[in-house]
């Protein structure tokens, strides 16, 4: 990761963490910390196992495209896809902590009943088609974070007492991020893929490239 970031002009990192092994070392975490700043976007998706089970589902595809657009409007950023803790967060949680966010916690199977189609991330998405209906997934961070930013729920479960269980959260509200001066929506072909063990790392730049790290 550190080597890839140092050798390319990247503006988005997609970290897909579906492994119980830790692949990111201290240099990788430092590189991510240097890459990201508080003006950029962050999206946490704890039900991203859905891309393994139904990656071609139109709603899953639309969600990921919306994430890429949101991060681009934010001037860049990071998508962290994971599952429940502690089994599948060995790489996601160290990244969140390094960037000053709360970690993904717990394992929950509460059905999705919060999927507001007014959410920027859910544009063109049928919430009921997204993977997360009763599966064990983690709780994404929401509220004011240790770094001072606020994370908002975009998809998840609202309990009877009004408390929320977020499966997708972002550091922008349902309306989406405010466009940065350099905002330029990327085409799908500008997404690059780095494979590191069972952890998929997608990094977006303005030229197509694929790196395989083994």
Does this model's pTM top 0.95? My answer is no
At 112 the pLDDT is: 86
Helices H / strands E in the chain, number of each? 5, 11
pLDDT band at 9 (very low <50, low <70, confident <90, very high): confident
pLDDT band at 1 (very low <50, low <70, confident <90, very high): confident
Q: Is the pLDDT score of 96 beyond 60?
A: yes
- Token pair for residue 110? 């509460």
At 87 the pLDDT is: 84
31 φ, ψ (degrees, to nearest 5)? -65, -40
Return the SS3 of 108.
strand
Q: What percent of the chain has a predicted confidence (pLDDT) above 90? A: 51
Residue that the structure tokens 């494979």 belong to: 195
Give the separation between CA 159 and CA 164, rounded to whole angstroms. 6
At 136 the pLDDT is: 86
pLDDT band at 201 (very low <50, low <70, confident <90, very high): low
What's the gap between Cα 118 and its chain centre? 19
105 φ, ψ (degrees, to nearest 5)? -130, 155
1 burial level (CB within 10 Å; 0-12, 13-18, 19+) = buried
Q: Which residue has the higher pLDDT, 91 or 51?
A: 91
Return the SS3 of 193.
strand
CA-based diameter of the chain, in Å?
49
Say which DSSP state 85 is in.
T
The mean-pLDDT minimum among 42-51, 87-96, 129-138 falls in 129-138
Q: Are strands 77-81 and 41-45 parallel, antiparallel or unpaired?
A: parallel
pLDDT band at 125 (very low <50, low <70, confident <90, very high): very high
Is the CB of residue 152 less than 8 Å from the CB of residue 171? yes
At 191 the pLDDT is: 43
At 115 the pLDDT is: 85
Say which DSSP state 122 is in.
G
At 207 the pLDDT is: 39
Report which of 58, 53, 36 is spatially closest to residue 133, judged by C-alpha positions.
53
Tens-digit pLDDT profile for residues 178-191: 876 654 444 433 44
């Amino acid at each position: 990761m550190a080597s890839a970031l140092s050798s390319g002009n990247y503006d988005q990192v997609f970290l897909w963490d579906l492994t119980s092994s830790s692949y990111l070392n201290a240099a990788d975490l430092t590189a991510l910390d240097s890459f990201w700043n508080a003006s950029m976007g962050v999206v946490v998706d704890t039900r991203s196992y859905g891309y393994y089970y139904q990656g071609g589902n139109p709603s899953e595809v639309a969600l990921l495209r919306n994430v890429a657009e949101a991060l681009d409007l934010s001037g860049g950023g990071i998508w962290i896809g994971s599952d429940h803790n502690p089994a599948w967060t060995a790489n996601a949680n160290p990244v969140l902590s390094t960037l000053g966010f709360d970690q993904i916690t717990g394992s929950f199977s509460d059905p999705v009943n919060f999927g507001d189609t007014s959410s920027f991330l859910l544009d063109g998405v049928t919430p009921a088609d997204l993977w997360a209906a009763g599966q064990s997934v983690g709780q994404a961070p929401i509220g004011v974070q240790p770094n001072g930013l606020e994370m908002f729920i975009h998809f998840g479960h609202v309990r009877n007492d009004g408390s929320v269980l977020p499966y997708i959260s972002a550091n922008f509200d349902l309306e989406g991020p405010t466009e940065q001066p350099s905002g330029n929506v990327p085409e799908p072909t500008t997404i690059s893929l780095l494979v590191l063990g069972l952890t998929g790392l997608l990094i977006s730049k303005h030229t197509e490239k694929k790196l395989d790290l083994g």
